[in-house]
Amino acid sequence: TGEPEGILVRTSSKYAPDAKNTDRIPATLLALVRNSEVDDMVASMNDLERTWNHKFNYPWTFFNDEPFSDEFIKKTSAATKAKCNYEVIPDEHWAVPSWIDKDMFDASAAVLEKNGVQYARMMSYHQMCRWNSGMFYKHPALKDVRYYWRVEPKVHFFCDVDYDVFRYMHDNNKTYGFTITLYDDPKTLPTLWPETAKFLADHPTYLKENNAVKWVTDSERRPEHNLNAQGFSTCHFWTNFEVADMEFWRSQVYDDYFNHLDKAGGFFYERWGDAPVHSIAVGLFEDKSKIHWFRDIGYQHIPFFNCPNSPKCKGCVTGRLTDGEPFLHREDCRPNWFKYAHMD
């Protein structure tokens, strides 16, 4: 078409926000967020647009359990050249399931609270964890979308990333990408592993070859966690950052697993997070070579960092998991991932 061949020109036209014959693959940046968090959302967008997305212009898709405000739409759409989609979550995806008993929820919350579990009584937090575990990828707005990058308000990105992260996932046959792994509080999920074990007993063929079960169940560094969590190490991918292929969540195997957990009630009677649920599922039902550590993506969600040692990164300190209390360093379980599951 007589278009100049310069790299910059080609890159910018290939990834122009409105390009028709684009190289982009079906993917979106994805955020569940409240109207009240708009300024923190814009701060996250500014970081990710500056370090990565202004080069690729992947669309943003925002989800909310109520309609987005005009202010939210105005401020977020001004933070990117890319297309923004604003989606309300259908009631059948967000509502507390009919089989959850309110009195039992209150009674369980009292026990969790006594054990120091944060957000125990906050129903919307439980709904959020369930939605992130087994609902978001069923939203009609994502019907033709395959990969997503999850972004929360008030997170930070520190490093220039010059390649198309979604294309990397696709071309290297990766299912799941993470930056940080942490131990969970076993008191939030005492029956998650027993329920998983029941599910495995019913579906022995679902275990994937070359899985990461040794990582999921290892007890080396925090044996007391293993005891309290009944066999689960509690080491999980920290899902507030997550780049993944929704075909995995949309598979029969994951659908059956999520439905089993949902019926068991632990999203409400305990406080199962989407992080341990996603991590166990990927660890058991996917080939571990399809799980990727994005060591080059500098990231922070308070209080933890992933900070690469690279001139491409600005504003974080290399070699530290946290600026917070020293005991927080003990939460890091990346060494277990490398030891038991994957040594890149």
Active site includes 49?
Answer: no
Span 36-55, contacts to ligand GDP by CB under 6 A: 37
Tell whether the torsion through CA atoms of 86, 87, 88 and 94 is positive or negative: negative
Of the candidate spans 27-35, 195-203, 277-285, 310-318, the one that interacts with ligand GDP by CB under 6 A turns out to be 27-35
Question: Is there a contact between 46 and 36 (Cβ–Cβ < 8 Å)?
Answer: no
Question: Is there a contact between 196 and 280 (Cβ–Cβ < 8 Å)?
Answer: yes
Burial of 200 (0-12, 13-18, 19+ CB in 10 A): middle
Q: If residue 87 lies in a helix (H) or strand (E), which one and from where to where? A: strand 84-88
- The reply to whether 33 sits near ligand GDP by the rule CB under 6 A is yes
Question: Of the two residues 41 and 313, which places its CB atom closer to Mn ion in the complex?
Answer: 41
Determine the size of the site formed for ligand GDP (CB under 6 A): 11
Q: Residues near 181 by Cβ (< 8 Å), separated by ≥ 6?
A: 235, 236, 237, 238, 279, 332, 333, 334, 336, 337
- Per-residue binding string, ligand GDP, 129-158, x by CB under 6 A, is -----------------------xx-----
Question: Of the two residues 136 and 158, which places its CB atom closer to ligand GDP in the complex?
Answer: 136
- Which position among 12, 14, 65, 342 is part of the footprint of ligand GDP (CB under 6 A)? 65
- The reply to whether 152 sits near Mn ion by the rule CB under 5 A is yes
- The reply to whether 40 sits near Mn ion by the rule CB under 5 A is no
Question: Is there a contact between 46 and 65 (Cβ–Cβ < 8 Å)?
Answer: no
Q: Residues near 301 by Cβ (< 8 Å), separated by ≥ 6?
A: 152, 154, 155, 180, 238, 240, 241
Question: Is there a contact between 28 and 151 (Cβ–Cβ < 8 Å)?
Answer: no
Separation between Cα atoms, residue 313 and residue 307, nearest integer Å: 8
221 is in the binding site of which of ligand GDP, Mn ion, none (Cβ under 5 to 8 A by kind)?
none
37 is in the binding site of which of ligand GDP, Mn ion, none (Cβ under 5 to 8 A by kind)?
ligand GDP
- The reply to whether 124 sits near ligand GDP by the rule CB under 6 A is yes
Question: Of the two residues 151 and 333, which places its CB atom closer to Mn ion in the complex?
Answer: 151
33 is in the binding site of which of Mn ion, ligand GDP, none (Cβ under 5 to 8 A by kind)?
ligand GDP
Q: Which residue is nearest to ligand GDP (CB)?
A: 124
66: nearest Cα among 38, 41, 91, 30: 91
- Which position among 12, 24, 25, 34 is part of the footprint of ligand GDP (CB under 6 A)? 34
Separation between Cα atoms, residue 333 and residue 222, nearest integer Å: 10
- The reply to whether 240 sits near ligand GDP by the rule CB under 6 A is yes
**Count of CB atoms situated within 10 Å of the CB of 129:** 23
- Which position among 29, 30, 48, 128 is part of the footprint of ligand GDP (CB under 6 A)? 128
Catalytic member of 37, 49, 195, 242: 242
Tell whether the torsion through CA atoms of 255, 261, 266 and 271 is positive or negative: negative
Q: Residues near 230 by Cβ (< 8 Å), separated by ≥ 6?
A: 190, 191, 193, 194
- The reply to whether 185 sits near ligand GDP by the rule CB under 6 A is no
124 is in the binding site of which of Mn ion, ligand GDP, none (Cβ under 5 to 8 A by kind)?
ligand GDP
Of the candidate spans 10-18, 28-36, 192-200, 328-336, the one that interacts with ligand GDP by CB under 6 A turns out to be 28-36
Q: Residues near 134 by Cβ (< 8 Å), separated by ≥ 6?
A: 249, 258, 259, 261, 262, 277
Minimum gap (Å) between residue 284 Cβ and ligand GDP: 23
Positions annotated as catalytic residues are 242
Residues that bind Mn ion (CB under 5 A): 152
Residues that bind ligand GDP (CB under 6 A): 32-34, 37, 64-65, 124, 128, 152-153, 240
